[in-house]
Amino acid sequence: MAFLPFYISKQKRLKVVIIGGGYAGIAALTTLLRYAPDTDITIIDPREQHIKITHLHETFRYPLTDLLVPFTDIASRYGCRYIAASVHFDQDELQKCQEQKQLILDKEVLSFDYLLIVSGCESSATDPTDNVLGLQDFTIAAGSDLLTKLLNKNNQSEQSISVVGGGATGIQFLFEIKQFLQRIKSNAELRLIHSGEHVLEQFPHGFSTYVQSRMQDMGIAFYPNTYYCGQQSNKVLLAEKQTEKQFELSSSLSILFLGKKTQNVFTANAFGQVIEDKSPLSNIFVAGDCSYYQSLGSNTLTAQSAVRKGKLVARNILRHSGFPGLLEPYLHRDLGYVVSLGPADAVGWLGSESNLITGMPALAIKELVEAQYDLLLVGIDTYLV
Ligand SMILES: Cc1cc2nc3c(=O)[nH]c(=O)nc-3n(C[C@H](O)[C@H](O)[C@H](O)COP(=O)(O)OP(=O)(O)OC[C@H]3O[C@@H](n4cnc5c(N)ncnc54)[C@H](O)[C@@H]3O)c2cc1C
């Protein structure tokens, strides 16, 4: 068994309920079992499969099934229990959960020593229209299948696709779509609609310069400072940001990447314990995209932070349950970030935001980080920080 500093077990078999089996949930599960293999863990998630979501844009090249790991497999691999359910809390319920150490589901009452909320952040919803796609659609079918079906259905001679949102997810999808269209020899026009002046505004300036020049090289039209107002049967309605003047362009399909909803985010102290009425709930922890820690560490909505927070709360659950009960604060700083631009290009930073990397070296770093997570999923922890 691995050694965890500042943790002497009180020899009781701990019951931990984990709500959400995404990046933070898996990191917490594997870390708990690494240091305390007899922990009794229940994982609750409405989906049947864990999705390696950081690869989702690659389903224009690979089958979606490559990214799915059934929770039943995870449960049998790690000897834990999986319940297919969706759990939602309001503030009073959390306080009650802490007092009673019970979680009430539809069909049963689960008692726990510690509850961990890692249910992520929902993506902003899309219009439920036939020719509008959003992130959620790509978790159900591969990008290649979805796009082929829609292009075939729409039998116009000149087709065009409007991708909306120039954040990291939108850009990763945009480049995959462009290269997919080239591979299937489609002459559909591709454009990016973005409400800001530049793409990837949350990253160092070099990101947008590089990406916008690659878009130009590849013939992707760019509409900055433009709001999406809706997709109709064969056109997209847009508005200029400054003047609010509306205009339309011919468009067979819109694909929306409008960012994440920031609702249902729980504030936690630096140890990951949820704060309610200004005091921490000692047995309820939170991590990943649905958490905001009051600490010096990074609260970015990334897999990198989700994994670090998930691992930290697992260690803190064990420390809190044992002796002397000293918890570790969250101090993780982002080590870098890479945005892929299709199968052979990427842009990112490593170590310091001023250290810009592009092309194959950037792609290699991304693949290394993804491989590290794949290893964690099978129980091999190679994270040094
Ligand atoms: C296309 C794409 C590419 C990305 N690329 C990168 C990247 O390269 N690098 C990076 O660092 N980050 C990347 N991200 C961001 C990263 O994926 C997220 O920050 C990360 O997944 C957050 O982890 P999480 O565990 O908090 O949430 P998630 O991984 O979203 O997991 C949440 C889990 O909770 C479950 N759940 C939801 N609601 C409930 C509920 N009510 N009850 C129970 N369970 C629930 C969900 O089904 C899901 O399994 C990318 C995101 C996308 C979409």
Of 222, 256, 290, the one marking the end of a domain is 256
Smallest Cα–Cα separation from 94: which of 273, 270, 292, 321? 273
Same domain? For 166 and 224 the reply is yes
Q: Are residues 93 and 198 in the same domain?
A: no
pLDDT digits (tens, 9 = 90+) for 76-108: 999 999 999 999 987 778 999 999 999 999 889
* Residue 214 banded pLDDT, cuts 50, 70, 90: very high
Q: Give, using CA atoms, the residue closest to atom 4 of ligand 1.
A: 54
Q: Does residue 111 fall inside a structural domain?
A: yes
Secondary structure tally for the chain: helices H, strands E: 9, 23
Residues 270 and 232 in one domain: no
For the chain, how many structural domains are there in total? 3
Taking CA atoms only, the protein residue closest to ligand 1 atom 35 is: 20
Q: Residue of the nearest CA to atom 26 in ligand 1?
A: 288
Q: Please report, for the domain that includes residue 93, its CATH number.
A: 3.50.50.60
Angle (CA) 62 381 35, round 5° = 135
Q: Which atom from ligand 1 is nearest to the alpha carbon of 47?
A: 47
Residues 173 and 209: their CA atoms lie apart, in Å, by 18
Q: How confident is the model at residue 60 (pLDDT cuts 50, 70, 90)?
A: very high
- 3 in any annotated domain: no
Question: Cα(194)–Cα(258) distance, rounded to whole angstroms?
Answer: 10
Instruction: Give the mutation target among 52, 56, 265, 302 for probing the ligand 1 site: most ligand atoms within 8 A of CB.
Output: 302
215-272: pLDDT as tens digits: 999 999 999 999 999 999 899 999 999 999 999 999 999 999 998 777 789 999 999 9
Residues 148 and 250 in one domain: yes
User: Is pLDDT above 90 for 6?
Assistant: no
pLDDT bracket for residue 75 (50, 70, 90): very high
Give the pLDDT confidence of 25-55 residue by residue, as tens digits: 999 999 999 999 999 999 999 999 999 999 9
Looking at the fold, whether 288 and 364 belong to one and the same domain comes out as: no
Domain assignment of residue 37, yes or no: yes
Which of 332, 348, 376 is the last residue in one of the domains?
Answer: 332
- Give the nearest ligand 1 atom to 303 CA: 11
Co-location of 236 and 383 in the same domain: no
Question: Do residues 323 and 366 share a domain?
Answer: no
Q: Which pLDDT value is given to residue 1?
A: 66
CA 234, CA 225: separation in Å to the nearest integer?
22
In the block, residue with structure tokens 């689960």? 110
Q: Please tell me the residue having the least CA distance from ligand 1 atom 20.
A: 303
Identify the pLDDT of residue 102: 96
Whether residues 323 and 339 share a domain: the answer is no
Residue 286 in any domain: the answer is yes
Which numbered atom of ligand 1 lies nearest the CA of 119?
A: 34
| pLDDT, tens only, 113-171 | 999 999 999 877 766 777 999 999 999 999 999 999 988 887 667 899 999 999 999 99
DSSP letters of 133-189?
EEHHHHTTS-HHHHHHHHHHHS--SS-EEEEE--SHHHHHHHHHHHHHHHHTT---E
- The structure tokens listed for 263 are 């609702």
> Mean of the pLDDT values across residues 55-77?
97
If asked whether residues 19 and 62 sit together in one domain, one would say: yes
Mean pLDDT (the chain) is 93
The set of protein residues with a Cβ atom below 6 angstroms from ligand 1 is 19-25, 44-47, 53-54, 56-57, 86-88, 118-120, 135, 169, 172, 288-289, 301-304, 306
* Any domain includes 5: no
Q: Are residues 137 and 249 in the same domain?
A: yes
Residue 10 belongs to some domain of the structure: no
Q: Are 211 and 347 in contact, with CB atoms under 8 Å apart?
A: yes
| Gap from CA of 310 to ligand 1 centroid (Å) | 12
List Cβ neighbours of 282 (8 Å cut-off, separation of 6 or more): 98, 273, 320
Do 189 and 219 have their domain in common? Answer: yes
Would the pTM count as exceeding 0.75?
yes
In a domain, 340, yes or no: yes
**Which residue puts its alpha carbon closest to atom 3 of ligand 1?**
54
* pLDDT the model gives residue 260: 79
Domain end position, chosen among 197, 222, 256:
256
Same domain, 101 and 144: no
In a domain? residue 226: yes
What residues contact 145, with CB distance under 8 A and at least 6 apart?
none
Please give the residue range of the domain that contains residue 302: 15-122+261-332
Structure tokens at 47: 């989906």
Ligand 1 centroid to 184 CA: how many Å?
A: 30
